[in-house]
């Protein structure tokens, strides 16, 4: 099956620093990638949708200047949390979709746990 | 709309029992539904999906039932095993909109 990887799997940083998380589709080309955030004992909350070569579409309430998303190739999307603060500590999960058909299955990465001190 | 809860409902079963996990979805226009399994500290894993032109679909040890009249989805796991312990999420999607909306999740605990 389709495999999506994320790097790093966990990161601890100081408040005010920026953190970059990578999401890669390993055996397929992802026309669309999604970034989610998940707090403990809660569901996945979609942050943004990124299509290769175009600007990401952010969900309401998600600051695009704080969560920078780049989808420069069909196999790589990055999420940069700029000037991270403790409230940004969360589990960040990406997913990737191969086809352009709207209901093509999304495959999820293993997640990145971010802890901001 | 989205349904996000701060407290995960929990279903506790014995190994070998059949488990039924329920999900109420919110958008009557949704026509594609997916069940995901999420183990602690990992990303969601696809289990099974169903389109709105069906009311039942079976996989290996899992069955998904869809009742569009009451906007209800269920996941049945046969002969539940300890390895099935995880949080299960339903997700919905409707044609013309590319994103998934996740339900609040149910934690399944399987004791040996």
The span from the first CA to the last CA of chain A, in angstroms, equals 37
For A31, A36, B67, B97, the CA distances from A111, given in Å and listed in that order, are 20, 9, 32, 24
In the prediction, which pLDDT does B95 show? 74
Chain B interface test: which of A26, A44, A108, A115 (most B C-beta within 10 Å): A44
To the nearest whole Å, the CA of B102 is away from the closest chain A CA by 6
CB contact under 8 A, A4 and B43: yes
Q: What is the pLDDT of residues A76-107, one digit of tens each?
A: 999 999 999 999 999 999 999 876 665 667 89
CB contact under 8 A, A111 and B5: no
Query: Who contacts A32 (Cβ-Cβ below 8 Å, separation ≥6)?
Result: A49, A50, A51, A52, A96, A97, B98
Q: What is the pLDDT of residues B7-60, one digit of tens each?
A: 689 999 999 999 999 999 988 889 999 999 999 999 999 999 999 999 999 999
| Set of chain B residues whose Cβ sits within 8 Å of the Cβ of A4 | 43
In the prediction, which pLDDT does A102 show? 56
CB contact under 8 A, A43 and B100: no
- Look at residue B4 and tell me whether its pLDDT is greater than 80: no
Q: Does B4 touch chain A if contact means CB atoms closer than 8 Å?
A: yes
Q: What is the pLDDT of residues B89-109, one digit of tens each?
A: 999 988 766 788 999 999 999
């Amino acid at each position: 099956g389709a495999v999506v990887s994320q790097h790093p799997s966990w990161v601890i940083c100081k408040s005010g620093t920026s953190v970059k998380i990578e999401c890669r589709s390993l055996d397929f080309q992802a026309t669309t990638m999604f970034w989610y955030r998940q707090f403990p004992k809660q569901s996945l909350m979609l942050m943004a949708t990124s299509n290769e070569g175009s600007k990401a579409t952010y969900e309401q309430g998600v600051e695009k200047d704080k969560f920078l998303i780049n989808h420069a190739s069909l196999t790589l999307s990055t999420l940069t949390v700029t000037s991270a603060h403790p409230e940004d500590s969360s589990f960040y999960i990406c997913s990737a979709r191969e086809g352009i058909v709207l209901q093509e299955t999304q495959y999820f990465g293993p997640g990145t746990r971010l802890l901001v001190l | 709309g989205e349904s996000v809860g701060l407290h995960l409902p929990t279903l506790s079963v014995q190994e070998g029992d059949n488990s039924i996990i329920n999900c109420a979805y919110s958008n009557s226009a949704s026509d594609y539904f997916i069940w995901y399994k999420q183990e602690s500290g990992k990303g969601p894993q696809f289990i099974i999906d169903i389109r709105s032109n069906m009311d039942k679909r079976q996989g290996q040890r899992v069955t998904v039932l869809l009742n569009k009249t009451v906007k209800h989805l269920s996941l049945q796991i046969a002969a539940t095993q300890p390895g099935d312990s995880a949080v299960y999420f339903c997700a919905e999607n409707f044609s013309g909109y590319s994103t998934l909306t996740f339900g609040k999740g149910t934690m399944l605990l399987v004791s040996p």
